[in-house]
Amino acid sequence: MTITQTQTRSLLGLKDLSQNEIQSILDRAAFWEQHANKTHNLLNGKFVANMFFENSTRTRTSFEVAEKRLGAEVINFSAASSSVEKGESIYDTVRTLESMGIDMGIIRLKPIGLLAEMAPKIKVPLINAGDGNNEHPTQALLDLYTMQKHFGSLKGLNVAIIGDILHSRVARSNLYALRQFGANVMFCAPDDMQAKDLDVQYVSMDEAIKADVVMMLRVQLERHSSGLLKSADTYRASYGLTVERANQMANHAIIMHPAPVNRDVEIDSDLVEAANSKIFPQMANGVPIRMAVIERALV
């Protein structure tokens, strides 16, 4: 595989991906979702390393299921049990696995910008499973897939993303991708949780819940350097999707959340599995999306 092919097959973010490229991934995910057989031999003999330098349950498991459904050999790797704990750099760890013959790496890491800096030096495709507060492309792809599946089209869709925007890579990837499809994206967040670097309209909570898609974000306490969250009750009262607020949503509107969910903080527990909630379907849609992304990288 040449360097150009590797860079094309890698998926570091959605900011520079065209609508056609994104749609081709969504279409292929639909193929895999409808495929009756649970496992395939498409990646027989290929080795995929899941390199998670930051904790993850949903994303790592979803990737592993996707890899095994495609017939790949899976190597799971976490920082807690790695030489990173002994002082080895992330780059040297990735280069080590590359030297051992992996065909692709799924990587999650906390330092912002490191993935983009490292990827051109690595000879196998890398898939971004979340880097800092930069991008989380496969989460946004499964979000788009969920919306497109429900509404038929993303063009003109009003999507409100509500919560801890400042620390959210999901918000960024969704913003970049949804705009490619002509969707209207608005943010809603407390002043100290807004991302000032993004050119997007901030609206009130009353306006946000009138959108076609009400996407709640988790308050990422582990990324807060100081007490941005005064109290869970105060946050819920001002920015939580309460049952009372959900009752004001349009009949056709849906609730989304990338999970994990802080029940009764950013969203009331009763709404997580409400009839108009797509939270668990989002998780299910993550597997065919990741199958499509992995296939794009290796086949």
Does 125 carry a binding-site annotation?
Answer: no
Does 120 carry a binding-site annotation?
Answer: no
Does 69 carry a binding-site annotation?
Answer: no
d(CA 202, CA 187): 5
The alpha carbon torsion through 61, 64, 65, 71 (nearest 10 deg) reads -170
d(CA 112, CA 132): 5
Q: Residues with Cβ < 8 Å from 45, sequence gap 6 or more? A: 73
Does 296 carry a binding-site annotation?
Answer: no
Question: What three-state secondary structure class fits 57?
Answer: coil
Does 23 carry a binding-site annotation?
Answer: no
Nearest residue to 297 (alpha-carbon basis) of 17, 23, 25, 15: 25
- According to DSSP, the residues that pair with 254 across neighbouring strands are 213
d(CA 12, CA 136): 8
Q: Which residues of 34-53 are buried (b: 16+ CB within 10 A; e: fewer)?
A: eeeeeebeebeebbbbbbbb
Does 35 carry a binding-site annotation?
Answer: no
Nearest residue to 138 (alpha-carbon basis) of 271, 296, 298, 272: 296
d(CA 107, CA 94): 9
Q: Which one-letter amino acid corresponds to residue 52?
A: F
Edge-to-edge strand order for the sheet containing 73-78?
73-78, 47-52, 104-109, 126-131
Residue stretches of the annotated binding site for carbamoyl phosphate = 58-59, 108, 136, 139, 259-260
Residue stretches of the annotated binding site for L-aspartate = 86, 169, 218
Residue stretches of the annotated binding site = 58-59, 86, 108, 136, 139, 169, 218, 259-260
